[in-house]
Amino acid sequence: MFTCRSDSCFSSAYGLVTGGLGRWESSELRSVSRSLSVGLLASLLACSPDSAPTPGEWRLAFADLDKGRIATCRVDGSHMRYITPDSLFTQQPSADSTGHIVIFAATRSDNPQGASALYAVHSDGSELELLTYAPFHIYEVAAGPDGSMALFVGRYADSHMPRVYRYRKGEPGFTAVLGAERIPLDLAMPPTGANFLFHDDSGGDTMWVGTVAGGLPIPIYNFPFSQCSFSPDGLSLVTVDRGAHNTLALFEFSDWSVDTLVAPGAAGATLADPAFHPAGGRACFVRQEVDGERDRVAVVDLNSLDINLLPAVVARPSRPVWVR
């Protein structure tokens, strides 16, 4: 398997910007015990469950898989409301870096069987917009930094090979940027919006990097990851580490290190769908419970490793993202 460990190789293969948004000290993380179990914080945010979020307040948005709608709530689980209509069966939400625009996949009853469409909506539920139809099922969506572009994974009904496609405002329809030479899963886009990271599901544990402009992908590292999200400076990933019993982990590109953040806790529970906070320092994810229990959205502080496990507001939340 190909493994690239040098900084120069990484820089030439990836070209991520370091940005000026700042980042926490990873040494602080390494000094904290990694054996934390998920639990409720001793105290949640002091707010009335019925009080509306303040302007600019960061909230969570997620797909309710049972209702097929996207909901938002405060980081303590209060003030939940749906922002997509019940006429659309929605999934795979992804937010831009400002948190104002959510791009998602949806299916309508008047579409051909197996067809999907890409939509955008503001985080308050206003300005719902059809971006493009797709004559296939959309499996994953990754919104670009400013919401004017998105990547998505789609597969035609008569093919077992998914591809990565690009939607860009002002361009007609959509464009394939990764062909059938790989089976792409777990898309993640860095703050530059020029590249994307993915896992090849055809075998092995290699990280691959493709370009939004299209072209052959480049393998950069061997790591058994799935479902990841970039830090705001593009230097780290919060990801699910499949090689460590599906723990939530922080992957550092600077030295290729992996630090465990959260263990699943209860026997049979799994962690999924992590998303970095756009300002850094926090990440949200889903704790998928054992049979008979409701799945839960959670937030982890990446400095203290404190966990805020939200109330089970819906039975099957999926793909939480940060909005405001």
Of 76, 80, 174, nearest to 118 by C-alpha is 174
* pTM for this prediction: 0.83
Asked if 92 contacts 108 with a C-beta cutoff of 8 angstroms, the reply is no
Residue 198 pLDDT: 95
Token pair recorded at residue 255? 């030295």
The C-alpha atoms of residue 142 and residue 293 are separated, in whole angstroms, by 29
Q: Which fold has domain 7-44+57-323?
A: Neuraminidase (2.120.10)
pLDDT tens for the chain, 324 residues: list them: 334 444 444 444 444 433 333 333 333 333 333 333 333 333 323 334 456 677 789 999 999 999 999 999 999 999 999 999 988 999 999 999 999 999 999 987 555 466 799 999 999 999 999 999 998 889 899 999 999 999 999 988 777 788 999 999 999 999 999 987 788 989 999 999 999 999 988 877 899 999 999 999 999 999 999 899 999 999 999 999 988 778 999 999 999 999 999 987 766 788 999 999 999 999 999 998 876 678 999 999 999 999 999 998 898 999 999 999
Question: What are the backbone angles phi and psi of residue 271, rounded to the nearest 5°?
Answer: -110, 145
Residue 159 pLDDT: 72
The C-alpha atoms of residue 154 and residue 184 are separated, in whole angstroms, by 10
The C-alpha atoms of residue 321 and residue 24 are separated, in whole angstroms, by 20
Residue boundaries of the structural domains of the chain: 7-44+57-323
Residue 186 pLDDT: 92
Q: Which residues, other chains included, contact 133 with Cβ-Cβ below 8 Å and sequence gap of 6+?
A: 111, 115, 116, 117
Of 114, 149, 139, nearest to 199 by C-alpha is 139
Residue 282 pLDDT: 97
Burial of 252 (0-12, 13-18, 19+ CB in 10 A): middle
Other CB atoms closer than 10 Å to residue 186's CB: what's the count? 20
Pair type for strands 149-155 and 163-168: antiparallel
How many whole angstroms from its chain centre is CA 31? Answer: 27
The C-alpha atoms of residue 234 and residue 16 are separated, in whole angstroms, by 6
Token pair recorded at residue 316? 């099957």
Token pair recorded at residue 199? 């896992």
Please report how many Cα atoms fall inside a 13 Å half-sphere around the Cα of residue 30, on the Cβ side.
8
The C-alpha atoms of residue 59 and residue 157 are separated, in whole angstroms, by 36
The DSSP bridge partners found for residue 69 are 64
Read off the amino acid at residue 322.
W
The DSSP bridge partners found for residue 208 are 198, 219
Q: Which residues, other chains included, contact 165 with Cβ-Cβ below 8 Å and sequence gap of 6+?
A: 134, 151, 152, 153, 154, 174, 175, 176, 177
The C-alpha atoms of residue 200 and residue 217 are separated, in whole angstroms, by 11
- First CA to last CA distance, the chain: 42
Q: Which helix (H) or strand (E) holds 318?
A: strand 317-323
The DSSP bridge partners found for residue 154 are 138, 163
Asked if 147 contacts 323 with a C-beta cutoff of 8 angstroms, the reply is no
DSSP 242: G
% helix / strand / coil in the chain, to the nearest 5?
5, 45, 50
